Amino acid sequence: MKGKLEPSVRQALVEEGKNLKEGLVSLEEDLVQLTDQLQQEAQCLPNITHPDVPIGGEDSSIIRKMVRSPREFNFNIKDHLELGKDLELFDFDAAAEVSGSKFYYLKNEAVLLEMGLINWAIAEVSKRGYIPLITPEIVRSSVVEKCGFQPRGQNTQVYSIENNDQCLIGTAEIPVGGIHMDSILPESALPLKYVAYSHCFRTEAGAAGTATRGLYRVHQFSKVEMFIFCRPEESNLYHEELIAIEEDLFSSLGLHFKTLDMATGDLGAPAYRKFDVEAWMPGLGRYGEISSASNCTDYQSRRLGIRYRPSSDTPATSKKGKGSNLAPTQFVHTLNATACAVPRMIICLLENFQQEDGAVVIPEPLRPYMGGLNVISPKAKTSQ
């Protein structure tokens, strides 16, 4: 086209160029559709599992550790619902009128307890070298999918925003996982460790019965989440670090709990291996899950496009870095773990540390984060 051409030849080339441009638009549309279909198919494939993971359903899970024994009470104990009513800590009835079932108001010392738990968890985990974060609580549906969750479908746990490609998060794992999306990290930056605070929103589709009453299974709650990006050869090591931090936190509060190596049937799609912590809830008369720690290997990072470049001569974090002489990139491994899921921690604290007079003793580590409050006492009855 730059040279001297006969008008007829030039016109033919112009027409050919137009046809190529139109064909390219059509091909790009087909590519978007095929990419979406491929993503949907890939989501049906879970991660592989660690060779030591027990095979079977939840009952096949193996106890790794048992901490303390259940407290023995010499009086008739109450569950957290009775305690919350007597101590004026919750209002489920008003929340049901305002928002629907499985919502709640926290009142009085319960507000201090939530704030205290959050600040205590962030402070304790930050001491161990984790970067504190407060995350967005609305994310793109594509990010939810890439993290291994299903934002659509009949049994989804995700609240989707109508007429918008966005969702409310069910865990801070999702926005933290996406913080380095489509990036190449320098090896020197790894491991990247975060401790993130967020509210979490879950539909709890199909959840019903006495096992879900009160604060145990709700639609909205606060949570502090740990998240690690690391080199592949280090993910098993950091998985052990995460569960050790969880055990230290819950042990320091004086809780009786067990740590489980969860069986294959209880692993979500992203998890290569998962350790759960179940604490004794005497008022409910059973153990309840209060946290989990998962090694997701490169399941999420492949979908999110998070890689690192080996070698010490790596430039600062960049988007889709360029350079022909650089070492080939590798996908990072991602791990996540719950430092504190507030409602279930409140259940544990109220039920385990209740007193015969109806009061609840606050564990010592939490007192500095609650203005020095030692005990939640019954309210004095005012005369009419």
Known catalytic residue: 140?
A: no
CA separation (Å) from 354 to 214, 256, 311? 17, 15, 55
Question: CA 312 to CA 24: how far, in whole Å?
Answer: 41
Structural tokens at position 366: 């939490």
Question: CA 96 to CA 167: how far, in whole Å?
Answer: 23
174 is an annotated ligand-binding site residue: no
Annotated catalytic residue within 60, 289, 302, 318? 289
Question: CA 219 to CA 273: how far, in whole Å?
Answer: 26
Q: Are 282 and 257 in contact (CB under 8 A)?
A: no
289 is an annotated ligand-binding site residue: yes
202 is an annotated ligand-binding site residue: yes
Annotated catalytic residue within 183, 222, 292, 294? 292
122 is an annotated ligand-binding site residue: no
225 is an annotated ligand-binding site residue: yes
204 is an annotated ligand-binding site residue: yes
Annotated catalytic residue within 273, 303, 309, 344? 344
Task: Phi first, then psi: give them for residue 273, nearest 5 degrees.
Answer: -155, 145
294 is an annotated ligand-binding site residue: no
Known catalytic residue: 289?
A: yes
286 is an annotated ligand-binding site residue: no
73 is an annotated ligand-binding site residue: no
For residue 7, the SS3 value is: helix
336 is an annotated ligand-binding site residue: yes
Annotated catalytic residue within 124, 173, 202, 273? 202
Question: CA 293 to CA 277: how far, in whole Å?
Answer: 9
Known catalytic residue: 213?
A: no
Annotated catalytic residue within 217, 303, 307, 309? 217
End-to-end CA distance of the chain: 97
Q: Residue 6: which H helix or E strand, with range?
A: none
Known catalytic residue: 202?
A: yes
Secondary structure (DSSP) of 158-215: PPBPTTSSEEE-SSTHHHHHTTTTTEEEEGGGPSEEEEEEEEEE---TT--SGGGTTT
Long-range contacts of 362-371 (CB under 8 A, 24+ apart): 362/113, 363/252, 363/253, 363/254, 365/120, 365/252, 365/253, 366/113, 366/116, 366/117, 366/120, 366/253, 369/115, 369/116, 369/117, 369/119, 369/120, 369/123, 370/109, 370/112, 370/113, 370/115, 370/116, 371/112
Question: CA 196 to CA 366: how far, in whole Å?
Answer: 19
Binding-site residue positions for ATP: 202-204, 218-221, 289-292
The catalytic residues are 202, 217, 289, 292, 344
Binding-site residue positions: 171, 202-204, 218-221, 225, 289-292, 336
Binding-site residue positions for L-serine: 171, 202, 225, 336
